[in-house]
Amino acid sequence: MPGFELFSDAERNEVNDVLDNGVLMRYGFDGMRKGHWKAKELESELCTAFKTNHVQLVSSGTAAVSVALASAGVGAGDEVIMPSFTFVASFEAIMMLGAIPVLVDIDDTLCLDSKAVERAITEKTKAVMVVQMCGSMGDMDAIQAVCNKHNLLLIEDACQAIGGTYKNKPLGSIGDLGCFSFDFVKTITCGEGGAVITNNEQYYINADHYSDHGHDHIGSDRGAETHPFLGYNFRISELHAAVGLAQVRRLPEFLDIQKKHFEILRQELSKISEMEFRSVPEGGVESCAFLNFFLPDTETALKVSKAFGENGIDACWNYYNNNWHYIRKWHHLKDAKSLYPLSYEIKAALEKLKTQDFSQSDHYIGRNISCLIKLSWTEAEVKERAEKMKSIIETVI
């Protein structure tokens, strides 16, 4: 998956262009930069790639989620429904705004279960955040229908699913706002970076201002800009944007490689009758950044995961005991271990997580194996890997 596997002269040339020009900040210094605007160029390229009207680059995927929520008016006391399987950044970004993360079960898509979402809605619910985990998507029609029924914002975190589509729409472009990460291990990387995308002009204006201390970005004199509202610093640098600019132009290349490797692995593993692949909603096309499958039970999945590691099969995980991505081991969240005081509402919500039933999520995560698809493999290496994985699984089963 990671674009860093295939760095080329394209990335080097864009970075050197910034260094030769000497302006590393994305705003201001108009005279010095001589018309070079890497962040603006990258935003334009991303508008095309993601088929969206507006893109605001920010400093990370985590920042993208916070900026997206804030831009749509989500804040203190508002509840945001999110999945039990995601990255810790999801609840961090929500809580940073004083909003309340409400965790609910996933289904066999490994994403939000629309029925669980509907059961969790209260008078405080403001938004639903679907996280398109491991290169694929939730049942977007069902989730959107719930949001429409209850007049809720749909925030789409597509950080792990760059290049995936649902009914010919790029993942990230379906909700009211979409969020992307371009960190070091994403399909396209800036080193560090992220983006908020939307077709809502007011949300875009809010994101533009909020991510840069509230600057209105009117005129060419940064010192004369006004501040219509409070903001924070979530800016991306020109150096990071330069890397991303080269990478996004290579996205079709990366996706083709991912798909080829994905299909080789899937075809070989599909010969195992005791195994099933994750569910992909009708009309959905995975990004092929990960191959996900279910084994008969948690014990078998844990044994297979261990056997993979012992036999040199890297980048394949079972998330059941993972403390980055799954609720079971998020003790710092459930115990509200914060450096600063949390609101009563947030602490009360986190206390409930200690006894909340996530058995449905356990049923899927416990049996799941998630395999990263690397761009740097040769076709021969992928075929050898596929045969080895199949043999190990059959031996354990």
The string of pLDDT tens digits covering residues 32-71 is: 998 999 999 999 999 999 999 999 999 999 999 999 999 9
Judgement on whether residues 294 and 357 belong to the same structural domain of the protein: yes
| CA–CA distance, 101 with 268 (Å, rounded to integer) | 40
Residue 270 is encoded by which pair of tokens? 């599909």
Tokens 């009563």 map to which residue? 344
Give the count of beta carbons closer than 10 Å to the beta carbon of residue 362: 17
Judgement on whether residues 190 and 67 belong to the same structural domain of the protein: yes
Judgement on whether residues 257 and 245 belong to the same structural domain of the protein: no
Asked which of 219, 250, 281 is the last residue of a domain, the reply is: 250
CATH number at residue 87: 3.40.640.10
Judgement on whether residues 244 and 273 belong to the same structural domain of the protein: no
> Is 0.85 topped by the overall pTM?
yes
Residues 366, 291: contact at Cβ < 8 Å?
Answer: no
Judgement on whether residues 182 and 303 belong to the same structural domain of the protein: no
Judgement on whether residues 134 and 79 belong to the same structural domain of the protein: yes
- The DSSP secondary-structure symbol of 335 reads T
Active site residue 186: yes
Judgement on whether residues 178 and 287 belong to the same structural domain of the protein: no
CATH number at residue 329: 3.90.1150.10
Asked which of 210, 226, 250 is the last residue of a domain, the reply is: 250
Domain that holds residue 93: 3-250
Q: Which of 186, 303, 334, 374 is catalytic?
A: 186
Residues 254, 188: contact at Cβ < 8 Å?
Answer: yes
Judgement on whether residues 258 and 246 belong to the same structural domain of the protein: no
Judgement on whether residues 219 and 295 belong to the same structural domain of the protein: no
Judgement on whether residues 155 and 190 belong to the same structural domain of the protein: yes
Per-residue pLDDT of the chain (397 residues; tens, 9 = 90+): 889 999 999 999 999 999 999 999 999 999 899 899 999 999 999 999 999 999 999 999 999 999 999 999 999 999 999 999 999 999 999 999 999 999 999 999 999 999 999 999 999 999 999 999 999 999 999 999 999 999 999 999 999 999 999 999 999 999 999 999 999 999 999 999 999 999 999 999 999 999 999 999 999 899 999 999 999 999 999 999 999 999 999 999 999 999 999 999 999 999 999 999 999 999 999 999 999 999 999 999 999 999 999 999 999 999 999 999 999 999 999 999 999 999 999 999 999 999 999 999 999 999 999 999 999 999 999 999 999 999 999 999 9
SS3 labels along 50-111: CCCCEEEEECCHHHHHHHHHHHCCCCCCCEEEEECECCCHHHHHHHCCCCEEEEECECCCCC
Asked which of 227, 250, 273 is the last residue of a domain, the reply is: 250
Judgement on whether residues 239 and 257 belong to the same structural domain of the protein: no
Which residues 6+ apart lie within 8 Å of 190 measured at CB?
A: 182, 183, 236, 240, 241, 243, 244, 247
- Residue 363 phi/psi, 5° resolution? -60, -40
Give the number of domains in the chain: 2
| CA–CA distance, 3 with 190 (Å, rounded to integer) | 9
Distances in whole angstroms, Cα of residue 95 to Cα of each of 78, 98, 347, 370: 10, 5, 11, 28
129 in helix, strand or coil?
A: strand
Residues 246, 11: contact at Cβ < 8 Å?
Answer: yes
Judgement on whether residues 35 and 175 belong to the same structural domain of the protein: yes
